[in-house]
Structures are given as structure tokens and as C-alpha cells.
């Protein structure tokens, strides 16, 4: 305490025998009080202390915990709850006859990232103290090195903090970690060539190579659930961590407050949410293609400007007589719009200048219209798509999802958001089978449902079923969040895995592996029927608008002809 840990703050826990055998006052007075804070607790009062003290006193690195005992401390260690997990735990065994191996291998003691035991050597005087750490993955002839010797205590050898508390997991010594996994989680885990591959395995392989461990893969959970909390019990892959002796979950799981409370989590390595796939709405009638080159405001502006030009030029010619007949002004103005030549008798320079600039403006306007018209006559025009959750809820479409035990259906049903709640109450589930979305896409293409799933997986199945031409994925996602790997609560090597994963994120490898699997999937042949795409000639339906204009013009001409004929006959009679 006056050497390598001189700057630490301490939580001392003494049992009754150690208090009687040690001069605690002398011990405490020898510690540098100006640099360290000290909390003394009797082991028999530990539970009462823990119920009142701040959590940081016995969890994390705020205090270095020193447990001094002469009797087996397992009785009160077993009673400690999950909040107990000091990063640095130093055990002093003052009883030479006590078997400290069972103490070091106990789950409560193994929670600590750094663990050291100091006990008296079982040899005749002079008394020497041995130092041990615990390496639970290092194999021995009779098991694992839960009690791994570091040597005899001396100040020179243990003059640094890292000397007293070595890294227990700088190597996993060839250990085998068991994954709680489900190999249907594209692009993070998915089957290929008889084995499970994906972005998460690419990352885990690098980490496993660095720390010398291997792993086993579970293709599917026994209860066929993804992983949620039902009636206080975790199911699926997260349940496997607690009940089925799994060590690590690397599937798609968002980091939430509830999960963080019951499990250890790595730092986030990716962010994503749930997307909706909807049917692309049918195109609007093709004859309306004549109207789409201009917006409504542009049409109104063009028509009003043309009428205003006719009125102003006619008025000016009435006020300032010219050789041009004012009654023919509308033909001169419309000549620019229709891009047709017309004979005129404009003699004044002002009237020629006026008309010339108007024709120049109409050339620009009509050229823009013609350029856009080519696209609108040959490419279908679609109405506005549903792109937000509020629009989807207002539209009245139901939502469908494959039933693989995801938390989303229940989350939607209890959401405080009115739109999400409506979607949750209008949700239909269809049975799970690997890449079996026929039912879901059948509903989507009948325009009765929107298909929801994790965004990356949804992109994958839309392409796999060759529905990229008749469905789209809504821009807004729901429940976006950060993805993390999950381990058992109070796992001592969580920080090791998490830090390594973070280094891969910072190096850009997560994004690289993710896009590599996405691109590889999108370049595969589609599962649906092959569709040949090629240019096609103009069809009659695309030119219906032009035909309608011609018919309207013919009707107008016939009406004018009838009026002129009646006028002519009346004149002859008179």
C-alpha cells in the first residue's frame, strides 16, 4: 500500500479472524492518507454496507478492493448480488490451511478484471508470501489455472500497479468460446457453402487470432426465438447466455437499457433500424404525360403570361395605331408558343422589338417543355411514395413480419407514439422458415401490407426475391439504434473483446466487411424468375395525350366551322 498502489483508494473488507490477528489501526496509519481514501468494512456487515453505499464503491475502478480473511469467505461472497464487480480485487489469505483454489475459482471472485491473491507460503520460517493470479482459460494437467503462481512477494519485483495486477486475458490460451447464434441474420451471419459466414465472423476471426481462441457456432436457437424478455425470462440467443452456457452473442441486437442491465455489452460497432418494404404504386395514366413537363405553377404562369401579352399588345396597337390589325394579335403571340411562322404587318420599331423578345422567351420555354416531354412520354410517372411512419399509419396499410421472436411486434404495441401504436395493432405475423417470404411479399404485392424487418436483411430479401422493380423500402426507419455484442453479466473479459472490436471500427474494417457482404449478395442471381430488361418502342398508350389534343382541336374546329357556316347563311338570307 506504500508502494505500487500508493495512489489507489481502497475498500478494505476484514473478517472477524483477520481483525483479531491484525493491528488494523497501525495498518491504516501507515498508508498515505493525503493520496488515498480508505473505507473499512467488517465482512459480517458487508451486505448492510452494500445496500447503502454508492455502487461505484464496489463496482468498477473507483476503489481497489482488498479482502482479508482467515476463514472461507465463500459464505458471504455467494450472497453478493450482480452489482458486486470491482475491477481490481486483492485477496489476502491469512490462514495457511485454507484451500484458496476454491475461492479463486468461484464465480463471484472471477468477475473482476484484475485478480490477485497473496498468501503465506506453506514452509517453515522464515515466512514468505506467495503471489497468485487467476487465468481461467489456461489449461493444466488437472484442469485450468484458476490459481496461477506469479512468484514470491518482494518490493522490487512488484513495484508497479501492473506488476501486482497483471492482465489476466492478454491471451485466451486456446480456449473455445461457445456462440449463442442464429445463422439467418444477413449480412452479419448467414449460411453459405455449408457453413456460417458474415460480417460478424470476419470481425470475430481477427479478434480470435489476436487473443488465441476459437469458437463454436449455433445454427439456430432451441426455442426458435430471437431474444427478448418474456414474463421476466430471456428467450432466444440472450436466453442461451444465461441458461445454456453460451459465452458470446454476435447477432443483430440493438443496445437497449433493458439489455444493458442484464448483460455485458461491447461498445457499439454499427447503427441500423427496422425498414418497411411497400409496393411501388402503379404509374399515373400515360395520357397525362403531356402535363408533367411543367409543374402546376409553371402552367399557370405560362398561360397567364400569354393572355397578358395578347391583351397588352392589342391595347397598345389600339392606342398607337400601326399597320398590324389588332384583331390578329393573338396569332402573333401564339406563334411563339406553337413555334410556327406567321405573317405580320408590324411596322413600328417598338412593336417589332416587343414581339421579338417575346418569341425569344417562348423559344426557351418551349425547348424546356419539349426536352422534358421526351422523358415523360417514355418513362412511367409514379405518384408520391409513402416515406414516413406517419404517412404509412394514415394510409391504413397493415404491417407484416416473419415470426422469429423479435422484440419489434411487442414494442410497437406498447409504443407511446400514436403512429407506431397503430402499426403494432395492425400487424400480421407469418411462420418462420429460412428465406421464406412468399407470404409476406404476396401481401405486399396485393397492396394490403408493408413488410418490416431489419434494414440490411430487408434489402437482402427484396433482392433475393427479385422484387426490386415492384417494391421499395421506405426512407424512415423505426427503432434505429446501435448494434453491440453481448456477453454474460459481469464477464471479466468483456473489456478485452470490446476494445478489440472498437479498434476494428476505428480502422474502418466493420464498414468494409459489411459492404463486401452486401455487394456479394446483390451480385448473385435472383431467386425469382429472370426478367429481361431492354428498351421498347413507343406504344399507343404513351401518345394518348397527343391524340386527345388532336381530337379536341378537331372538335373546336368543327364548332368554329358551324358558327361561321351559320353566320354566312344568315348573311345570304339577309
What is the rounded distance in angstroms from the CA atom of residue 191 to the CA atom of residue 181?
A: 12
Residue whose cell numbers read 439504434 = 481
* C-alpha cell, 216: 463454436
Instruction: Report the pLDDT value the prediction gives residue 292, as an integer from 0 to 100.
Output: 74
What is the rounded distance in angstroms from the CA atom of residue 225 to the CA atom of residue 404?
A: 5
Residue 14 lies in a domain: yes
Q: What is the pLDDT of residues 6-17, one digit of tens each?
A: 889 999 999 988
Total number of domains constituting the chain: 3
Instruction: Report the pLDDT value the prediction gives residue 167, as an integer from 0 to 100.
Output: 95
Instruction: Report the pLDDT value the prediction gives residue 528, as an integer from 0 to 100.
Output: 45
- Pick the last residue of a domain from 168, 203, 220: 168
- Pick the last residue of a domain from 378, 402, 418: 378
Query: 459 exposed, middle or buried (CB, 10 Å; 0-12, 13-18, 19+)?
Result: buried
Instruction: Report the pLDDT value the prediction gives residue 97, as an integer from 0 to 100.
Output: 87
Residue 411 lies in a domain: no
Residue 29 lies in a domain: yes
Instruction: Report the pLDDT value the prediction gives residue 290, as an integer from 0 to 100.
Output: 72
Of 9, 6, 12, the closest CA to residue 32 belongs to 6
Instruction: Report the pLDDT value the prediction gives residue 171, as an integer from 0 to 100.
Output: 96
- What count of residues does the chain have? 574
What is the rounded distance in angstroms from the CA atom of residue 176 to the CA atom of residue 48?
A: 39
Residue 208 lies in a domain: no
- Pick the last residue of a domain from 129, 145, 168: 168
| Cα dist from 293 to 92, 286, 288, 290, 358, whole Å | 85, 13, 10, 7, 21
Query: 53 exposed, middle or buried (CB, 10 Å; 0-12, 13-18, 19+)?
Result: middle
Long-range contacts of 52-58 (CB under 8 A, 24+ apart): 55/83, 57/11, 58/11, 58/83, 58/84, 58/85, 58/86
Q: How do beta strands 471-473 and 270-279 pair?
A: antiparallel
Instruction: Report the pLDDT value the prediction gives residue 291, as an integer from 0 to 100.
Output: 76
Judge contact between 73 and 98, C-beta under 8 A. Answer: no
Residue 234: strand pairing partners: 229
Query: 310 exposed, middle or buried (CB, 10 Å; 0-12, 13-18, 19+)?
Result: middle
- 3 state DSSP class of 65: strand
Of 110, 157, 115, the closest CA to residue 132 belongs to 115
Instruction: Report the pLDDT value the prediction gives residue 534, as an integer from 0 to 100.
Output: 44
Report the CATH number at residue 97.
Answer: 3.40.50
* C-alpha cell, 33: 492518507
- Omega cis (within 30) before 187: yes
| Segments of the chain scoring below 70 in pLDDT | 30, 32-35, 286-287, 322-327, 345, 347, 378, 524-550, 553, 557, 574
Long-range contacts of 502-509 (CB under 8 A, 24+ apart): 502/266, 502/267, 502/269, 504/203, 504/206, 504/207, 504/269, 505/267, 505/269, 509/202, 509/203, 509/206
Tell me: do 163 and 309 sit in the same domain: no
Phi, psi of 95 (to 5 degrees): -115, 110
Give me the domain span that covers residue 356: 293-378
Our CA angle for 186, 189, 192, nearest 5°, is: 90
Residue 424 lies in a domain: no
Residue 348 lies in a domain: yes
Residue 41 lies in a domain: yes
Phi, psi of 307 (to 5 degrees): -65, -40
Residue 476 lies in a domain: no
Stretch (H or E) spanning 393: helix 389-395
Q: What is the pLDDT of residues 77-107, one digit of tens each?
A: 998 999 999 999 999 999 988 989 999 999 9
Q: How do beta strands 471-473 and 449-454 pair?
A: unpaired
Amino acid at each position: 500500500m506504500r508502494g505500487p498502489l500508493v495512489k489507489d483508494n481502497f475498500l478494505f473488507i476484514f473478517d472477524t479472524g483477520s481483525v483479531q490477528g491484525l493491528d488494523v489501526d497501525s495498518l491504516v496509519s501507515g498508508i498515505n492518507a493525503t493520496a488515498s481514501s480508505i473505507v473499512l468494512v467488517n465482512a459480517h456487515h458487508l451486505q448492510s454496507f452494500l445496500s447503502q453505499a454508492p455502487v461505484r464503491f464496489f463496482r468498477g475502478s473507483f476503489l481497489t478492493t482488498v479482502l482479508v480473511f482467515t476463514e472461507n469467505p465463500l459464505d458471504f461472497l455467494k450472497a453478493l448480488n450482480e452489482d458486486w464487480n470491482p475491477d481490481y480485487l486483492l485477496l489476502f489469505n491469512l490462514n495457511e490451511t485454507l484451500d484458496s483454489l476454491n475461492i479463486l475459482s468461484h464465480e463471484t471472485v472471477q468477475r473482476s478484471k484484475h485478480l490477485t491473491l497473496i498468501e503465506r507460503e506453506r514452509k517453515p520460517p522464515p515466512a514468505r508470501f506467495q503471489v497468485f493470479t487467476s487465468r481461467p482459460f489456461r489449461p493444466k494437467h488437472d484442469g485450468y489455472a484458476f490459481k496461477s503462481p506469479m512468484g514470491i512477494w518482494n518490493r522490487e519485483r512488484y513495484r508497479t500497479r501492473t506488476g501486482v495486477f497483471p492482465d489476466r486475458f492478454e491471451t485466451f490460451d486456446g480456449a473455445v468460446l461457445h456462440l449463442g447464434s442464429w445463422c439467418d441474420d444477413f449480412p452479419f451471419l448467414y449460411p453459405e457453402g455449408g457453413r456460417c459466414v458474415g460480417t460478424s465472423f470476419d470481425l470475430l476471426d481477427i479478434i480470435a487470432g489476436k487473443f488465441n481462441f476459437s469458437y463454436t457456432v449455433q445454427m439456430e436457437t432451441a426455442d426458435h426465438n430471437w431474444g427478448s424478455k418474456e414474463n421476466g425470462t430471456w428467450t432466444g440467443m440472450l436466453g442461451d447466455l444465461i441458461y445454456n452456457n453460451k459465452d458470446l452473442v454476435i447477432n443483430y441486437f440493438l443496445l437497449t437499457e433493458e439489455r444493458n442491465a442484464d448483460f455485458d455489452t461491447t461498445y457499439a460497432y454499427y447503427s441500423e433500424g427496422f425498414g418497411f418494404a411497400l409496393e411501388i404504386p402503379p404509374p399515373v395514366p400515360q395520357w397525362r404525360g403531356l402535363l408533367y413537363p411543367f409543374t402546376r405553377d409553371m402552367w399557370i404562369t405560362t398561360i397567364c403570361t400569354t393572355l397578358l401579352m395578347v391583351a397588352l399588345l392589342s391595347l397598345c396597337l389600339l392606342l398607337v395605331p400601326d399597320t398590324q390589325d389588332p384583331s390578329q394579335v393573338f396569332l402573333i403571340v401564339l406563334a411563339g408558343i406553337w413555334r410556327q411562322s406567321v405573317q405580320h404587318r408590324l411596322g413600328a420599331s417598338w412593336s417589332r422589338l416587343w414581339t421579338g423578345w417575346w418569341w425569344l422567351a417562348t423559344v426557351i420555354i418551349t425547348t424546356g417543355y419539349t426536352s422534358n416531354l421526351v422523358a415523360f412520354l417514355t418513362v412511367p410517372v409514379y405518384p408520391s411514395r409513402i416515406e414516413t411512419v406517419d404517412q404509412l399509419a394514415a394510409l391504413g396499410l397493415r404491417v407484416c413480419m416473419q415470426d422469429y421472436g423479435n422484440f419489434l411486434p411487442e414494442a410497437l404495441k406498447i409504443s407511446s407514439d400514436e403512429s407506431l401504436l397503430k402499426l403494432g395493432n395492425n400487424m400480421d405475423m407469418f411462420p418462420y422458415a429460412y428465406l421464406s417470404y412468399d407470404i409476406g411479399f404476396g401481401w405486399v404485392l396485393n397492396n394490403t401490407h408493408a413488410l418490416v424487418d431489419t434494414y440490411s436483411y430487408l434489402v437482402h430479401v427484396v433482392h433475393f426475391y427479385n422484387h426490386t422493380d415492384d417494391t421499395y423500402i421506405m426512407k424512415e426507419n423505426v427503432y434505429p439504434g446501435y448494434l453491440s455484442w453481448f456477453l454474460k453479466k459481469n464477464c471479466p473479459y468483456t473489456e478485452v473483446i470490446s476494445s478489440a472490436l472498437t479498434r476494428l471500427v476505428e480502422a474502418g474494417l466493420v464498414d468494409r466487411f459489411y459492404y463486401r457482404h452486401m455487394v456479394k449478395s446483390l451480385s448473385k442471381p435472383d431467386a425469382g424468375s429472370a426478367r429481361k430488361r431492354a428498351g421498347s418502342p413507343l406504344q399507343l398508350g404513351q401518345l394518348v395525350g397527343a391524340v386527345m389534343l388532336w381530337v379536341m382541336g378537331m372538335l373546336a374546329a368543327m364548332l368554329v366551322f358551324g358558327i361561321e357556316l351559320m353566320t354566312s347563311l344568315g348573311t345570304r338570307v339577309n
